[in-house]
Structure 1
Amino acid sequence: MKTATPALARAINDRLALDLLLEQGPLTAPQLRDLTGLSRPTVSDLLERLQSDGLIEVAGESGEARRGPNARLYGLVTGRAHVAGVDVRRGRLHVTVADITGAEIAATTREMPGDPDLPSFIAETVTAAAGDHDLHTVALGVPGLVNPRTGLTTDSGLPGWRPDLAAALRAVLPADVILENEVNLATVAEHRLGSAAGHDDCVLLWLDDGVGAGVVLGGRLRRGASGGAGEVGFLQADGIDYCNFLEEGRMRALTPEAVADRITTAVFTLVAVLDPGLVVLGGAAGRAGGPHMAALVQDRLDARSPARTQVRATTVEGNPILQGAVLTALDRTRDTIYG
């Protein structure tokens, strides 16, 4: 059996300490020793190394009566890097800028012009939102399929759309650019922050101005060979595409029971193929239906499916696409900077 080299062991220990500081905030050296199980000399070395690299700093002292080196609180250098999450849909461009800890430092929304140079419009809006902060990574949520191999996208119906949007943005934005399907990003937010937290396998059924699904299996977002995983909007029920069958405006005139019948049709399809164990109802309709609608769908699904599956309503507050974009950008940035 091969053992870790000293350099690899140091890198693992450093990332362990950085992740703890991300999760818990500033910590003392004794607290880091207790949480990591590392020895006093090892913790002392990693603290010195991380300070020299500009990743952590002394953030004050603990409230302990005893003063000295052990009372120093070490925290992350929050301005070490910044990211932006972008949601491009509904005629508006939404941008959130965050520091490396995930704390929001700026946000803006702009109306989309009729026929924009879309890459330039996005770049100008993101740059203005970031202000004096250089951005390490920008993650965008967009409608349509995003091919995970080529980065090319299908037609989203947005004004000024182009299939090579990701490449075009990289040419005008001095940052790493990630382009992702909007429902996939909402799924990332639900999996980290919402009803699917703690579940390795789950599906988010997105019921909004578009209909789709995001798939997490084995703790990982699954995109498919061409970015089409979860695109249930293309399926049909009673000769009608799901994207129309479950469209929010069509369901508004139905009774809650009739709406639950329709949603169960889509949920059963996902359960029969994927057996995820958990389906979360998201988007505007999923949020509006809440736990009551989830319970109605649960009853109908239990009567049809032999695979036991929980059905829950979304619990992510605010814009889940934008939050998923920020989380995705943070993952890329932290892996690059923290190792």
Structure 2
Amino acid sequence: MKTATPAMARAINDRLALDLLLERGPLSAPQLRTLTGLSRPTVSDLIERLTEGGLIAAAGESGEDRRGPNARLYGLVADRAHVAGVDLRRESVAVTVADLTGRIVGSATKAVGGDLVDLVAAALAEAAGGRPLDTVVVGAPGLVAPRDGELVSSNDVPGWRPGLVASWRERLGVPVILENEVNLAAIAELSTGAAQGAEDFVLIWLGDGVGAAIVLGGRLRRGMSGGAGEIGFLEVDGIAFCNLVTKAVADGLDRAELAGRVAKGAFAFVTLLDPGLVVLGGEIGQEGGDGLAGEVAARLRELAPAPAEVRASTVAGNAVLQGAVLTALTLARDHVFSRVA
């Protein structure tokens, strides 16, 4: 067994403390000792190290009776880094910028038109308001190749072209990650929505576009070529699933007919993966609410050998943007927190 070096031990302790400060807010040295199980000298050293590294700062005093250094509260320096989430669709691009704690500090929306490098750069600049960005995550339709982070084939966003991600990176000078938009919505669902606490689930996205995302063992599964969850290509009764449940089609169906169609698509995931939970997202899933989810669950019970709960999405606001910001924050925190050891 490899013995941890002093530097490795410091890095582990620092990250433990930083994660606790993220989760619980400002904490005192005694609180950090209690939560981490670390000794007084070790906690004192890490507080000094993280303060000198610009990652934490004094944030007032606790209400403890005993005053002095141990009563001082320490919190993360929120503006140490900023990240951006981008939701790029056929008609518009929406941007949200957050600080290291996840607090939203800026946003912008622009109509799609012209060069996408210029468009996204302008939207990011407006939302950031002069703040330098550490990481940018872009959500867009299509299969994203794991090997290079570019689309496998072009999507229906006007102006999309090969090498766009590389052009964004060169223009912005920061890491830019492209992810399928439904995958990002699933990350938001897992963090703040109907899939909280679930290790396994499938998100079926029903709206202007149709797709799905798979989470197994608490991890997003993209597949070898990024095509996991592309349910729109699945044939149901001889017709592509995407042509059966789009917003334009669904608006002309009663709930029972729509539920039957959705259940046939969900059946493929339930039979092959046995996720135990199916979340209905997108405009149709959210608007259908518990009523649609209940009818889909009833139809699934008639079709599938494995039981599956069906829930409507409960993510408030733009799930794609939220997933993009959450992904960017994870990457930025790993980057920023690793600078101090």
Q: What TM-score results when the alignment is normalised by the length of structure 1?
A: 0.97
Moved more, 96-105 or 237-246: 237-246
- 2: distance between equivalents of 1:45 and 1:66? 21
- Map of 1:144 onto structure 2: 142
Superposed displacement of residue 297, structure 1: 1.0
**2:326 is the counterpart of 1:327:** yes
Give CA-to-partner distance per residue, 1:223-261, whole Å, 9 cap, x none. 111110000000111221111111122121222111110
Tell me, yes or no, if the aligned pair for 2:144 and 2:150 is still in contact at 8 Å: yes
Q: For residue 48 of structure 1, what is the aligned residue in structure 2?
A: 48
Separation of aligned partners in 1, 2:245 and 2:3: 54
SS, match of residue 276 in structure 1: coil
Query: Does the CA-based 8 Å contact 1:135-1:174 persist in structure 2?
Result: no
- Greater shift in the superposed pair: 56-65 or 135-144: 56-65
2:98 is paired with a residue of what secondary structure? Answer: strand
**Separation (CA, whole Å) in 2 of partners of 1:195 and 1:8:** 37
Instruction: Give the aligned residue type for 1:186.
Output: A
Shift of residue 150, structure 1, vs aligned partner: 2.1
Distance 1:191 1:144 in 2: 21
Equivalent position of 1:91 in the other structure: 91
Is 1:296 matched up with 2:295? yes
Matches within 5 A, 1:1-339: 1-113=1-113, 116-153=114-151, 154-339=153-338
Q: Distance in 2 between matches of 1:317 and 1:91?
A: 21
Equivalent-residue separation in structure 2 for 1:129 and 1:206 (angstroms): 27
Deviations 1:94-126 (A, max 9, x none): 00000011000001111122xx11112111221
Q: State which drifts further: 327-336 or 2-11.
A: 2-11
Contact 2:150/2:178 (8 A) holds in 1? no
SS at the partner of 2:27?
coil
| Distance in 1, Cα, partners of 2:162 & 2:216 | 28
Deviation at 1:292, TM superposition (A): 1.2
For 1:111, the aligned partner's letter is A
Which 4+ residue blocks in structure 1 deviate beyond 3 angstroms?
A: none
**Aligned residue type for 2:12:** I
Indicate the larger mover: 32-41 or 17-26: 32-41
User: What code does the residue aligned with 1:134 have?
Assistant: P
1:187-242 per-position Cα deviation (integer Å, ceiling 9, x unaligned): 11011111111111111000011111011111111111111000000011122111
1:319 positional shift? 0.0
Displacement of 1:309 after TM fit?
1.3
Mean Cα displacement is larger for which, 57-66 or 206-215?
57-66
Report the aligned-residue RMSD: 1.0
User: Counterpart amino acid of 2:67?
Assistant: R
- 1:2 CA drift (Å): 2.5
Q: Determine helix, strand or coil for the equivalent of 2:134.
A: strand
In 1, Cα distance between the equivalents of 2:142 and 2:264? 22
User: Partners of 2:70 and 2:79 in 1: how far apart?
Assistant: 25
Counterpart contact for 2:146–2:226, Cα < 8 Å: yes
What SS does the aligned partner of 1:44 have? helix
Task: Count the aligned residue pairs.
Answer: 337
- Unaligned runs of 5+ residues in structure 1 are none
1:230 maps to amino acid: G
Distance 1:90 1:284 in 2: 16
Q: CA deviation at 1:128?
A: 2.2
Report deviation, 1:64: 2.3
- How far apart are residue 3 of structure 1 and its match? 2.6
Q: Quick one: percent identity of the two aligned structures?
A: 59
Structure 2's unaligned 5+ residue stretches are: none
